[in-house]
Amino acid sequence: MKRISWQIILGLSLIILSVFFYLIHYAIFRDPHHIFIYLIGDIGFVFIEVLLVTLIIHQLLSMREKRARLEKLNMVIGAFFSEVGTRLLTYLSDLDPKLDRIRKELIVTTDWSYQEFSRVSKRLKNYDYGVEIQEVELEYLRGFLMEKRDFLLRLLENPNLLEHESFTELLRAVFHLTEELEARENIRQLPDPDREHLAVDIKRAYILLVHQWVDYMKYLKDNYPHLFSLAMRTNPFDQEASPIVK
């Protein structure tokens, strides 16, 4: 026989106890009319209680919990850009031959509105990204990413990533590029087809980095002005960027 779950046992026990106390009430007061008045009233209120608890209170608690998870996730994204993202984006963007077409549009300021961020995001979707693979110092790039490998692994293990698909995709792209570079023993002497293969991996990471950076800048501007100030002063697309306040 299948074991009866504790939920079923608990439910039956509560029903039996309820019937038992109603019988005690009847035995003492001999008033079934009074019993049924409160019984029907209580049953009628159950539906309102279900509405309040499951559809309203539960929804509010879920929204609050989701905001807390997203807040933690944005802390993770901030750590990523501090440790890896900003430096990697600066290096790759400097090797983008067409960057001057959009560079000015990526100089974020405190005057940017929600509409400005949305406009730039749409503009970036149609931008023809590119990285000159012949100019990439693969040995330097491999050394930098391998140095950050453990950090990237810890980020990938974070359960909060399930709430942010685009950032998860970015992490996977950067980690995949790290594995590709690490797998090659002689990174200085690679055939052209292999360089082109690496160029695809680099471009994928570069595209995702740019989009995630814009989203993160918007988040900082809306929530953390002091962090946004530093991010503006270290803008990877601004050739005159300096962390020193002038």
Count of CB atoms within 10 A of residue 23's CB? 11
Q: How far apart are CA 205 and CA 222, in angstroms?
A: 26
Question: In this model, does residue 205 exceed pLDDT 90?
Answer: yes
Region label for 152, one of left (φ > 0), alpha (ψ between -120 and 50) or beta (otherwise): alpha
Instruction: Report pTM.
Output: 0.74
In a domain, 129, yes or no: yes
More confident: 76 or 54: 76
Q: What is the predicted pLDDT for the residue at 211? A: 94
More confident: 217 or 46: 217
Question: In this model, does residue 171 exceed pLDDT 90?
Answer: yes
Q: Same domain for 125 and 186?
A: yes
Q: Same domain for 83 and 153?
A: yes
Q: Same domain for 110 and 187?
A: yes
Mean pLDDT across the chain: 86
Range in 36-50, 70-84, 85-99, 202-216 with the lowest mean pLDDT: 36-50
In a domain, 28, yes or no: yes
Q: Same domain for 25 and 117?
A: no
In a domain, 67, yes or no: no
CB under 8 Å to 173, separation ≥6 — which residues?
201, 204, 205, 208
Q: Same domain for 32 and 137?
A: no
Q: What is the predicted pLDDT for the residue at 129? A: 92
Q: What is the predicted pLDDT for the residue at 3? A: 57
Range in 39-48, 60-69, 175-184, 185-194 with the lowest mean pLDDT: 60-69
Terminal Cα-to-Cα distance of the chain (whole angstroms): 78
Question: In this model, does residue 178 exceed pLDDT 60?
Answer: yes
Reported as a single tens digit per residue, the pLDDT across 59-112 is: 777 777 777 777 788 888 999 999 999 999 999 999 999 998 888 889 998 889
Q: What is the predicted pLDDT for the residue at 4? A: 63
Alpha-helix residue ranges (DSSP H) falling in the chain: 6-29, 32-50, 58-80, 86-93, 114-125, 138-147, 149-156, 165-182, 192-223, 225-233
Range in 18-22, 35-39, 134-138, 142-146 with the lowest mean pLDDT: 35-39
Q: Same domain for 146 and 55?
A: no
More confident: 10 or 153: 153
Q: Same domain for 135 and 216?
A: yes
More confident: 35 or 115: 115
How many separate domains does the chain show? Answer: 2
Q: What is the predicted pLDDT for the residue at 143? A: 94
The predicted model gives 102-131 an average pLDDT of 90
Question: In this model, does residue 15 exceed pLDDT 90?
Answer: no
Q: Same domain for 147 and 227?
A: yes
The predicted model gives 103-127 an average pLDDT of 90
In a domain, 245, yes or no: no
Full residue range of the structural domain in which residue 23 is found: 6-60
Question: In this model, does residue 213 exceed pLDDT 90?
Answer: yes
In a domain, 36, yes or no: yes
Q: Same domain for 105 and 227?
A: yes
Q: Same domain for 77 and 55?
A: no
Question: In this model, does residue 1 exceed pLDDT 70?
Answer: no
Q: Same domain for 184 and 106?
A: yes
In a domain, 239, yes or no: no
In a domain, 23, yes or no: yes
Q: Same domain for 87 and 118?
A: yes
In a domain, 243, yes or no: no
